[in-house]
Amino acid sequence: MYLLLCDRFRDTCIAAEQEGILVGFVLSFVPPAHMDTIFIWQVGVAERFRGQGIGLEMLNHLVAMPSCASVKFLEATVTLTNAPSRALFAAFARQHEAAIVQSERYGRELFPNGNHEAEHLLRIGPIGSRMNIAKGDNVAGI
């Protein structure tokens, strides 16, 4: 799935590097039926680089890219106990003066053996102030 997203949706997937080391990535796409929405499939930050704002910087960079010019909403699915992801998306919503609406999207019964928590859809938006973010040296399109 990761290779497919990077190949077919390269305009909405980004990576962050620091001194030539991959420290984070965002895999996302704009659903064809919802061109005003960016769906975040995955945000990853290497363990030793967590807590430095890299995830938030990548999300801000993503929505400022030309490929997201029509985006007014950001969506992601997150479990109730994933505090780091919830904090990241809450920080993004605050910076963009946007509301977060949560609804259960994928119940526990949909996952093999019920060994996974339910995934809740977070819908953030409308994204208020378009932050003028210049393309940094450490964030680039994949």
Q: Which domain CATH number covers 91?
A: 3.40.630.30
Number of structural domains found in the chain = 1
pLDDT of residue 43: 96
Its domain, for residue 41, covers 2-141
**Tens digit of each residue's pLDDT, the chain (142 residues):** 667 777 777 789 999 999 999 999 999 999 999 999 999 999 999 999 999 999 999 999 999 999 999 999 999 999 989 999 999 999 999 999 999 999 876 656 656 776 768 888 999 999 964 444 433 444 444 3
Output the DSSP codes for the chain.
Answer: -HHHHHHHTGGG-EEEEETTEEEEEEEEE--TT-TTEEEEEEEEE-GGGTTSSHHHHHHHHHHHSGGGTT--EEEEEE-TT-HHHHHHHHHHHHHTT-EEEEEEEE-GGGSGGG-SPPEEEEEEE---S-------TTEEE-
pLDDT of residue 77: 92
